[in-house]
Amino acid sequence: MLRMGRNHIAVLIKLALKGEMLFTEIRRLTQGPYHYTEGILLDLKQWGLIEERRSGRKRIFKLTEKGKEIASFYLRFASQT
């Protein structure tokens, strides 16, 4: 069982809607300091929900197939309320 906070879920949903996001965009979304955002991303990577690639100094994140499944669950749940 994954224990996700609201910012974990927010990152998953935003990635599902946008496709890819830069670290700075995710940091703006979580409204936390660098290490807080880094911790959220590390959790999501360890759970196999996101993957990271680098383009120069930029860190780009996107959902894995497992991440897409979980994000679609949250999107369906949000649309029902």
Tell me the sheet residues that pair with 59.
Answer: 54
Give the pLDDT band (50/70/90) at residue 79.
confident
pTM of the shown model: 0.90
Q: Is residue 1 part of a domain?
A: no
| Domain residue limits at 39 | 6-80
Distance CA 51, CA 74 (A): 19
Question: In this structure, is residue 32 part of a structural domain?
Answer: yes
Q: What value does the mean pLDDT take over residues 44-65?
A: 97
What's residue 1's pLDDT?
56
pLDDT in tens, 17-51: 999 999 999 999 999 999 999 999 999 999 999 99
Residue 15 within a domain: yes
CATH number, domain of 46, equals 1.10.10.10
Segment 26-34 long-range contacts (CB within 8 Å, at least 24 positions apart):
26/61, 32/7
> What is the total count of domains within the chain?
1
CA max distance for the chain? 41
State whether residue 48 is helix, strand or coil: coil
Mean pLDDT of 46-75: 96
